[in-house]
Amino acid sequence: MSSAPSVSSAPASPAPRKARPRRLGPGDRIFLTVIIGIPLAALLFFVWLPALASLWLSFTTWDGIDLVDIHWVGLDNYQEIFTNYPPFWPAVRHNVAWLLFTALLPTPFGIFLAYQLDRKIRFTRVYQTAIFLPMVLSLAVVGFIWEIIYNPDTGLLNGLLNAAGSGHHIDWLGNPDLNLWAVLVASGWRHTGYIMILYLAGLKGFDPALKEAAALDGANGRQTFLRVVFPALRPVNVIILVITVMESLRSFDVVYVLGGGIGSKPGMELLSLLITDNILGESSHIGYGSALAVVLLVVSLAAIGTFLVQNFRKEDQ
């Protein structure tokens, strides 16, 4: 009689326990609360709360003195702006001109300078510093500098024209047909350096092997940039475009300074100036100015949002 073989079953080793994440101590929680909570509270208090308050006030009339004087008027402010506010449509046209000028001249010129300076030419650091220097200055200081240049009596520009024998005495900032373009030149002077440094940072991370491959295929410098470098730097291009749109639509400081600090003047109307004229002017119209601010916000979000959605859709495809 044979006995059944005994099956020796070794005890299964217990599955290794997953290490539990270490719980945050009181000090860690306080640290995270401080570094996250304070910026978040500041963002809510200084950005989103005023934005929501402006949206609500845009449907009211208020002189900014007593809260009991706030009266709901619905869409009357918007109807008044679009149909019976003479500076509004010139301001829209000037904002569009500002956007087109900045997108078509200073931005491509900044990209061009960045591409040239990335070639390690002599004294490239000196050129980069000189071109980027206006970006270090505030827009108000830039305005004061160009106010001296445009001075009709002692300004540098009229001095050069007189030295050349033109004999013309041009009031660059007083002529409604010229003052907007004079301000655009001052703004573009600063914007060019900003775009140059942004694009130069993108070029520093670009793979040089792609340029070498394009050169081996016989591409010249222009073809290499347009067909290799520019498409490969799509994220940088998106950032530059968004910055260009934002800088164009929110432009205020330099035009305020060059306009003499009196708000909008003929030929230099912008939406941002109309907002301050109505909110901070002698007779405050908080609801009216808030409606203008909402219009500017919608235009900004529409311009940036449309481009970003199309760009991300192409990337998904």
How confident is the model over 225-283, as pLDDT tens digits? 888 888 888 888 888 888 888 888 888 888 888 887 776 778 888 988 898 888 887 67
| pLDDT, tens digit (0-9, with 9 covering 90-100), for 192-241 | 988 998 998 888 888 888 888 888 888 888 888 888 888 888 888 888 88
| pLDDT, tens digit (0-9, with 9 covering 90-100), for 31-66 | 888 889 999 999 999 989 988 998 999 999 888 788
Residue bearing tokens 């009031």: 171
Radius of gyration of the chain (CA): 29
Higher pLDDT: 166 or 186? It is: 186
**Dist CA 270 CA 108 (whole Å):** 24
* Crossing angle of the two packed helices 49-57 and 286-316, in degrees rounded to 10: 120
Residue 107 pLDDT: 92
CB 77 within 8 A of CB 287: yes
pLDDT band at 185 (very low <50, low <70, confident <90, very high): very high
- What is the rounded end-to-end Cα distance, in angstroms, of the chain? 76
Structural domains of the chain ordered from first start: 73-311 (1.10.3720.10)
Dihedrals φ, ψ of 61, to 5°?
-115, 140
Residue 308 pLDDT: 73
Residue 241 pLDDT: 87
Residue 155 pLDDT: 83
In terms of Cα–Cα distance, which of 233, 227, 257 is closest to 118? 233
13 pLDDT more than 70 = no
CA atoms within 13 A on the CB side of 24: 8
